[in-house]
Amino acid sequence: MASLPILTILEHSHVSPPPATVPDRSLPLAFFDILWLTLTPVQNLFFYELPDVTKTHFIETIVPNLKQSLSITLQHFFPFSGNLIVFPTATRKPEIRYVDGDSVAFTVAESALDFDDLTGNHPRDCGKFYRLIPLSLESTKESDHVKTPVFSVQVTLFPNSGFSVGMTNHHSLGDATTRFCFLKAWTSIARSGTDESFLANGTLPVFDRLVNYPKIDEIYLKNIEAFSKEYQPPPLSEPTDKVRATFIVTRTVLNRLKKWVSTQLPTIPYVSSFTVACAYMWSCIAKSRNDELEIFGFTIDCRARIDPPIPAAYFGNCVTMCTATAKTTLLTGDEGFLNAAKLLGEELHKMLTDKDGLVKEKWPFEGLFAQGIPTTAMGVAGTPKLRFYDMDFGWGKPKKHETISIDYNDSISLSACKESNDDLEIGVCLSATEMEAFVPIFKEGLEAYV
């Protein structure tokens, strides 16, 4: 008997807000949105375990529910169904524009891949996951602008195992907080069948442009060239030599890492679970590679830190970048972890206590490569403050959540653990050779703190 194809597309369709619920409108990109204009898209994948799910139930029940609830959600989060509009000069600011008939591309598929393998923590071939997320958002050249869809969905059946919900969004659409609010609404509406519960208990997005700075045109000019040439985001495609794995760091271990750093570096200004987790991962990954200079970056949510603060439900991007650069030798020696913790702690403290505030009217990445061009640039996707494992569409909470877009630059993902809010779940994407070196370095290093 012939084996089933790895992926079969069952349907290509589009989902719009309910008729006559959203007028034509535009959302201008604000300061923080423009910073992400030409960067890679954000791609997330949620796996839901349903051992008895059949193709009939999937097609007749699960898919219609997801489509209907998505449509209602788009009524309240209209930018997700719109398009990014970028003009060739800085005289007109880019915007996310919705006009009647705009929609979200919605793909339905069936996969013969091993559901249990994909949802494990062990190293798995990154290429397998690329089949489960929507294709990159392709730009098209219009008469006086470039138009790019900002959001798409793919739902994939694994017969007798479960299904996955994959999402791709343009980074200028919004940060993790905005995506979290959207998903909370979508899952609430999917569970109840209407938006009544969401409207009674949820939070509507705030579309007012509350983050604007006089020199935004200067920043825009730095980003516009790629779009004026019909910019296309890079795809994630097979074959690849990369693998992804998930590592759990418990609260007990985190506390011991924090205690060790505080004892060895009593003057360090900032020691948190986030800091020590990132520092430990940075030093371990550095030891698994043969690089010369490393840069490590992560974002800071500015909503509560801007003066005056802006609402938590502010729609869009409201994060700034915090970075630390180090020679690899500083990270790979006996005190590599301590050095990484010191660098990240100092940079974070400097960012949070800067008397001029988190946001300055200049390009925030100026001076980034003062020490030279890094061989390796790593980042962090996600935050443990947002509980993405609470996303229940009505068939239970996800068995696994993966941030696929860390594959673009070998970054890490970081979230609260599925089993406990106190533990951290860290996703890592490396080449197969680097992962083989990384795993024992990670495990043996933690043994000193157990």
Residues 6+ apart with CB under 8 A from 321: 35, 297, 298, 299, 300, 364, 365
Output the CA torsion sign for 304, 320, 354, 331: positive
Gap between the Cα atoms of 353 and 360, Å rounded: 14
Query: Is residue 170 annotated as part of the catalytic site, yes or no?
Result: no
Gap between the Cα atoms of 312 and 78, Å rounded: 18
User: Virtual CA dihedral for 324, 240, 428, 119, nearest 10 degrees?
Assistant: 160
The first and second tokens of residue 291, run together, are 């690089």
Q: Is the peptide bond before 235 cis (omega within 30 degrees of 0)?
A: no
Gap between the Cα atoms of 61 and 67, Å rounded: 10
- CA neighbor of 402 nearest in space, from 117, 41, 46: 46
Rg (CA), the chain: 22
The first and second tokens of residue 26, run together, are 């535009």
Instruction: Tell me the sheet residues that pair with 320.
Output: 300
- Residue carrying structure tokens 């795809």: 235
Write down the H helix ranges in 38-94.
55-57, 63-76
| Burial readout 113-147 (b: 16 or more C-beta within 10 A, e: otherwise) | bebeebbeeebbbbbbbbebbbebbebeeeeebbe
Question: Within 10 A of 31 (CB to CB), how many other CB atoms are there?
Answer: 24
The first and second tokens of residue 145, run together, are 């602008």
Query: Is residue 171 annotated as part of the catalytic site, yes or no?
Result: yes
Instruction: Tell me the sheet residues that pair with 329.
Output: none
The catalytic position among 33, 171, 301, 407 is 171
SS3 397: coil
- CA neighbor of 338 nearest in space, from 285, 411, 262: 262
The catalytic position among 195, 390, 392, 422 is 392
Residue 154, amino acid: Q
Residues 6+ apart with CB under 8 A from 208: 314
Angle at 14 between CA 10 and CA 16, to 5 degrees: 150
Q: What is the DSSP string of 329-361?
A: HHHHSTTHHHHHHHHHHHHHHHHHH-TT-S--S
* Enzyme catalytic residues: 171, 392
